[in-house]
Structure 1
Amino acid sequence: MGKIIAITNQKGGVGKTTTAVNLAASLAAMQRRVLLVDLDPQGNATMGSGVDKGELTLTACDLLLGDHPIGEVMVAGLPGGYDLVPANADLTAAEVELRDVMHKERRLQRALMPIVANYDYLLIDSPPSLNMLTLNALVAAQSVLVPMQCEYYALEGLSSLVATIEGVRRSLNPALKLEGLVRTMYDPRNNLSNDVSSQLQEHFAEALYRTVIPRNIRLAEAPSFGLPVLLYDKTSKGALAYLALAGEMVRRESGLAEGLESGLENPAVAAPVIDMTQEDTAGVVFVKLKERAS
């Protein structure tokens, strides 16, 4: 049975879609069967996977509305080695049409059921907001992966996001866990990046992936070519970082203790999927960084 992971952050511009596309390609490169579900009306994961969102006839919108089964909507055999449920602006209409539908928050969960066993990982790229699409992702998922840019305001929203996960777990999906936090767009020359990274390590060590995703020009360029960075430049720091992240995720899943040999920061031991409550995040990092900035 495949593991369904929602890649979510209510703040935009944190590397969420970049993580979704490149983690999917990296897991596929490790011989894992991967489905990427684009649930963002912007369709950036679709375009970044080499699929023209303007040419689509069927999208995630048709899946959520129940007009077509997932086998008809899915684009299989992409160059990145994974399959894709594509998206475009039609998804914005899905929220309106689902407004009065019973169990509307479970539409994605039900749509994925027939094919979950066909994959090792099903990754959902959620919109950067809390809406019905994000709720569908959280209800369908077993765990939540949170990309976090190493900046001041990224930490401010962590407590709110954890509260959202708690609420979904209490009312709709008791099995939902926090998969972990991933530091993205990290620049070691930036003092604030180092401060944020250190505070995350100090206070959320169990939830924090040790792999760090750096700022990297190849990562920024790859989407314009419709390619994961692994296909665009497999020797780049961005490609190596996402391979390391995929390796760490697989090791967490399998419970192995040894890390991959790499020049990047990688795990030495496997880490569990975390139960984190809102109280765990309440202001600890935010206050300390505010003191440093003053």
Structure 2
Amino acid sequence: MVSLNFDPRLCRNESEVISKLIVSYLLPQLGYSPDSWHQEVKVADIRLDFLTLVTPVIPFILDQIRPPNIVIEAKHPGQKLDRHNRKLRRYLSKLNARYGLLTNGKELKIYERDADGEVRLKFACQGKEIPAKINDIRAILGKISLSDIQQTVSSETERISNSPPCDLQNRTTAQTVNVSGEAERISNSLPCDLQNRTTMEEKSNMKVIAIYHNKGGVGKTTVSVNLAASLSRKGKKVLLIDMDAQANTTFATGLIKFQFEEDDNIIQSYVFHLLESGDFNFIPDIVRRSQGFNTPEIDVIPSHINLIEHQDKLNKIAVSRSRLLVKLKQVRDYYDIVIIDTPPSRDLYAEIPLIAADYLIIPSDLKPFANQGLNNVKNFVKQVNEYREAIARDPLVLMGVLPSKISTNSQFLKHTFPRQKSVISDRHNLPLMESIIYERTPLSNCLSRTKNEGEIEIPDPKSIFDFCDLKSDTSAEQSAEDFEFLAAEVLNKIQ
């Protein structure tokens, strides 16, 4: 029976929010019949209260072509909605849904995911205001209102489906680019959507960001992988490059699953092979997709412990310093952002990323050794900028020092942390980023996860975002929010 009104006082628990508000009142008022909404749906590792489809699908299937139109989450009237909005945001991103509705009967909030992947609050009202504002809600979430959007998506899907297939490994033509006297043959063999995008965009907006500090243990890898994950979830096409022989980023993105040397599937194709020649081994040849790390997965150029053995060979070839820069130009119309995790050193493998990058982020725990190392970083950047000038490249832009692995102890944050921050600007004359990456247990746990396959335990690292989907707690949510804030700051600074 369809209710013509709604009284939030009738909702005493989550079950009654579902039955009396959502099922009996809201869904019928928005024009959804029982065949167009689904209750208690499990999609991968997500369990949803409700989702709706403008066009019913039989059998029920969710994919990129047929995402849900609305994800609905009901909560107990005694729970604050602010505790759950982050999880709803993740659901929208993971399911490619446009709208999310969150309610406890006392309040109702609608979130919208835009074309750039940003999720923002679209509408909010008190439970007692729902009947009076049902037309406003219907204008956003009503079945009729969303039909036009569905038709637009279907038309675009048909256009993409009719595009000719491409073969990533099929090389047809080549062009020559000269950097510092070296002719680099650039292959036009690109992924299918890369080729399509190249023809549609006249000017590249790809930005390259190096994550560097010459001191180890300041969180470079944690920042690199989770910043890449956050940007990817915002709809950006991200390439993550591991330039450190420790291969921590390669491990963190799920690419090292083997337990024995004979099963090593990285050694024949990793970042060294990208640097060894200008005539072969281009990015499409080396790139891999992360494995079980993030939703969506990201593209990774892996590293290997053997990288260190090849440094002398590359040092003898002057143009090896600019090969990454040249090969990134090949994919400049495909990727939006490239993030490079660097080694804690001042050698060739640290120099190459700083030559290729547009921007630099310096993670630092702001402790004495890390702060003292900032002078070394400044001098190293100065040397790199001299080389950049010699190849007609603008100086590296310092985005700022990023406070990383910062204690959450209240007394530390009140007394010590402000003094540590002041040292960055007062003594070292460096900008400090607004974002702060706090040291919390989930940030280490998410990258050290394992799982059993038969009798063997294998690594199963996750981004902090996918970790939250598996094990949601306040600390993990806060860490994910740290990286969402960082991603937003980065996007703002590179625009």
User: Does 122-131 or 244-253 show the bigger shift?
Assistant: 244-253
Are 1:245 and 2:486 matched, yes or no? yes
Identity %: 26
| SS across alignment from 1:157 | helix
Larger radius of gyration: 2
TM-score after normalising by structure 2: 0.49
> How many Å apart are 1:45 and its aligned residue?
0.3
Residue aligning to 2:209: 5
Deviations 1:135-162 (A, max 9, x none): 1111111121110112122111112211
Native 8 Å contact 1:46 1:84 kept in 2: yes
**Which of 338, 348, 353 in structure 2 is aligned with 1:137?**
353
Note if 1:73 corresponds to 2:286.
Answer: yes
* Pairing 1:216–2:434 present: no
Q: Quote how far apart the aligned CAs of 1:77 are.
A: 5.9
Aligned to 1:113: 329
Cα distance in 2 for partners of 1:150, 1:200 equals 8
**Does the 8 Å contact 1:64/1:111 carry over to 2?**
no
Deviation at 1:231, TM superposition (A): 1.1
User: Does 1:199 find its partner at 2:423?
Assistant: yes
1:236 aligned onto 2:474: no
- Going from structure 1 to structure 2, the CA distance change for 1:230 and 1:147 (only over 3 Å counts) comes to same
Aligned partners of 2:424 and 2:431 also within 8 Å: no
Counterpart contact for 2:238–2:337, Cα < 8 Å: yes
Which of 407, 419, 434 aligns to 1:187? It is: 407
- Backbone CA RMSD of aligned residues: 2.0
Alpha carbons of structure 1 residues 168 and 206: separation in structure 2 relative to 1, 3 Å: closer
* Aligned-partner Cα distance in 2 for 1:212–1:249: 13
Aligned partners of 2:399 and 2:433 also within 8 Å: no
- Give the count of matched residue pairs: 254
Pick the structure with more strand per residue: 2
The structure with the largest helix share of the pair is 1
Instruction: Indicate how the Cα distance of structure 1 residues 131 and 204 shifts in structure 2: closer, same or farther if over 3 A, else same.
Output: closer
Counterpart in 1 of 2:48?
none
CA–CA distance in structure 2, aligned partners of residues 13 and 169 of structure 1: 26
Q: CA deviation at 1:204?
A: 7.3
In the other structure, the counterpart of 2:472 is none
Distance 2:420 2:308 in 1: 34
Partner of 1:281: none
> 1:116–1:122: 8 Å Cα contact kept in structure 2?
no
1:193-242 per-residue CA deviation (whole Å, 9 max, x = no partner) reads 44212433666797221111101100011111221111112653221101
User: Could you tell me how far apart the structure 1 residues matched to 2:388 and 2:429 are?
Assistant: 28
> Hey, what does 2:243 align to over in structure 1?
39
Return the alpha-carbon distance in structure 1 between the equivalents of residues 407 and 233 of structure 2: 26
Alpha-carbon offset, residue 168 of structure 1: 1.1
TM-score, L = length of structure 1: 0.80
Task: Determine whether 1:165 maps to 2:381.
Answer: yes
C-alpha deviations, 1:97-116, integer Å up to 9, x for none? 21322312112112222112
**1:179 alignment partner, SS class:** strand
Counterpart secondary structure, 1:98: helix
Provide the secondary structure at the position in 1 that maps to 2:318: coil
SS at match of 1:18: helix
Distance 2:494 2:397 in 1: 13
Q: Secondary structure at the match of 2:363?
A: strand
- The aligned residue for residue 370 of structure 2 is 154
User: Paired residue for 1:14?
Assistant: 218
Q: Secondary structure of 2:215's match?
A: coil
1:85 aligned residue = 301
What is the CA–CA distance in structure 1 between the aligned matches of 2:245 and 2:430, rounded to whole Å? 33
1:218/1:42 Cα in 2 relative to 1: closer, same or farther (>3 Å)? same
Aligned to 1:94: 310
Runs of 5+ in structure 1 lacking a partner? 255-294
Which residue of 1 is the match for residue 398 of structure 2? 178
C-alpha deviation, 1:13, in angstroms: 0.3
Q: Gaps spanning 5+ residues in structure 2: where?
A: 1-203, 258-263, 450-460, 470-475
Change (3 A) 1:182 1:73: same
Alignment deviations for residues 45-104 of structure 1 (CA, whole Å, 9 cap, x no partner): 011011117431310011111251111110036542321000111211231221322312
User: What do residues 242-294 of structure 1 show as CA deviations (whole Å, max 9, x unaligned)?
Assistant: 1110011112223xxxxxxxxxxxxxxxxxxxxxxxxxxxxxxxxxxxxxxxx
Greater shift, 98-107 or 23-32, is seen at 98-107
Residues 204 and 233 from structure 1, CA distance in 2 versus in 1: closer, same or farther, beyond 3 angstroms?
Answer: farther
